[in-house]
Amino acid sequence: MEVMTATIVPNGSNAPLIQLLDQVSNLIESFIELGILVHDNQGTQQSNFALTNKMQTLAKQLKQISNTDEQLLKDYLIPVDVITYIEDGRNPDIYTREFVEVSAKLNARLKGKMRGFGQLRNVLSEKLIKEFPTLESAVEDVGKRCELK
């Protein structure tokens, strides 16, 4: 039952990250299994034994994750907004989608402004050349330097 929001393409530099991802996925799965065991616990010796084993497995998994190289965690910083979003019980995929949507809107707005200023530059250049023909070469030079690339 592995549910991941993104796929990480393995390469030499991110092998420790993939290993940590697997450890965290296994930990989450163990917590789910523990919840099921607690809910279904009938108080028998067999169910108590299974619960004890699962608790020991969880303790080992937590210890293994806590021994993760701190430098690895520093190399992959997670924005505080994302952590807060997750702590509030919300899906980080939604945060990502909203972030992309806002970025796209801002991008479109800036693109419109750039077009508007380009048109203003062209109209202003034409009017300046029309009124001051002696400045034509200077206006064209400024126009070339202000071209959108």
- Mean pLDDT across the chain: 85
pLDDT surpassing 90 at residue 20: no
Based on the number of CB atoms within 10 Å of its own CB, is 34 exposed (0-12), middle (13-18) or buried (19 or more)?
middle
Q: Give residue 6's pLDDT band: very low, low, confident or very high (50, 70, 90).
A: low
More confident residue, 67 or 3: 67
Q: Give residue 108's pLDDT band: very low, low, confident or very high (50, 70, 90).
A: very high
> Which residues, 6 or more positions from 137, have their beta carbon under 8 angstroms from its beta carbon?
none
pLDDT tens-digit profile of 62-71? 998 888 877 7
